[in-house]
Amino acid sequence: MIKSMVSNIKQALDENLSKGLQGFLLRSAVFIALLYIALPFLAKIAVDLLGGGMNYTINYFYIEFIYLGIIVIFLLYSRHKIMGLKEYSQSWRQTFLFGYIGLIFYALKVFVKYFVNTLFLGNSIYIVVLLEYAFAVVAAAFFALSVFNVVAFKKFYKEITISIVISFCFFSFAMLLRSTWGFFSYVVGTAVMGIFRLTMNNPELNFNDFSMSVNGFSAAIGAPCSGIESMAMFTSIFILLVIYDFNDLNKKKIVPYFMVGIIGMYVMTIIRIYLLFLVGTFNPDLAMSLFHTNLGWVLFVVYIMLFLFFIYPTMMQSRIYSGASKKFKNIRK
């Protein structure tokens, strides 16, 4: 029965997918299993044996998310080339050589992460974090060479380079946001206090050290409430959309529309915190439970939908935008 099932699956793959695409999917499965299962498992064993269990560095983002960002951007950007990929043979000499080099860089990444004490390095901790990420990405690149071999890299070197650059730009931007969360929290708190002065008669307001109080209801405006996470998520969605529709976009509108979108996302954060404190003045338990848990994602989804339906289509080239507008009008009818 199992043999028959395998045979049917193989027949279905042969009928719908080319040999080259089947090989690419198989190699991709091996590569993802290596990055997300085998290497972390080996690293844990090594760290436990060598006694480096304490993680001294700052995890702004887990490296697995950086890997995922690069992979997703690459797949979107290279989807047409991948569909037409021809079958090629595996060079086991390259597999072992690049795999060995990849292990060296991954060992350096593990060493920096678990054995370099950055407690006394002051501002240099950010350099250590970047080194950790750099070693991890270089290791992943050599493991990719090991699994896919040089043949695939020669065909996709441009797409791979662009994917890595875009991913690093995004995560660098996100790290910058996280390191300045105090500034964004201060701006949010100041703006919310201003709105309360305009909308409420003689409110009792206090805002000190990121802790805010409105008519006796108090809560901290920490990093999660500062808007950096929603801005980072909006940025990632915007980047993926731009990559997917790059050939159809008006390139001059990309940066201005991104700025409009990110500012709008920050305004939504201010509205969210205002509504949270407003509800808190009437029902603190509701504000800090159901309302606090769900308001963020609800407003984020609403904002993204408004952006996608009303703003993003105007970024398209004129001929495509006119066609999209007609389709949208028909949907509303």
* CB 214 within 8 Å of CB 205: yes
* Residue 1 counted as domain residue: no
Residues 229 and 324 in one domain: yes
Q: Tell which of 152, 173, 194 closes a domain.
A: 173
Residues 188 and 326 in one domain: yes
Q: Bridge-partner residues for 220, per DSSP?
A: 211
Residues 166 and 200 in one domain: no
Mean pLDDT of 124-146: 84
pLDDT value at position 323? 52
Model confidence at 208, pLDDT cuts 50, 70, 90, reads confident
Residues 40 and 154 in one domain: yes
Residue 255 has pLDDT above 70, yes or no: yes
pLDDT per residue over 105-122, tens digit each? 999 998 888 877 655 555
For residue 129, which of 140, 137, 118, 139 has the smallest C-alpha distance?
118
Domain of residue 301, residue span:
181-332
The total of structural domains in the chain comes to: 2
Residues 102 and 193 in one domain: no
Residue 317 has pLDDT above 70, yes or no: yes
Residue 84: count of CB within 10 angstroms of its CB: 9
For residue 324, which of 304, 333, 314, 303 has the smallest C-alpha distance?
314
pLDDT per residue over 46-75, tens digit each? 888 877 655 544 555 567 777 877 887 888
* Residue 236 counted as domain residue: yes
Exposed e or buried b for every residue in 282-292, given b needs 16+ CB within 10 A?
eeeeebeeebb
* 330, burial (CB in 10 Å: exposed 0-12, middle 13-18, buried 19+): exposed
User: Which 8-state DSSP code applies to residue 287?
Assistant: I
Distance CA 39, CA 251 (A): 40
pLDDT value at position 257? 93
- Which pTM was predicted? 0.64
> Any residues with CB less than 8 A from the CB of 212 and at least 6 apart, and which?
189, 192, 193, 205, 206, 218, 219, 220, 221, 277
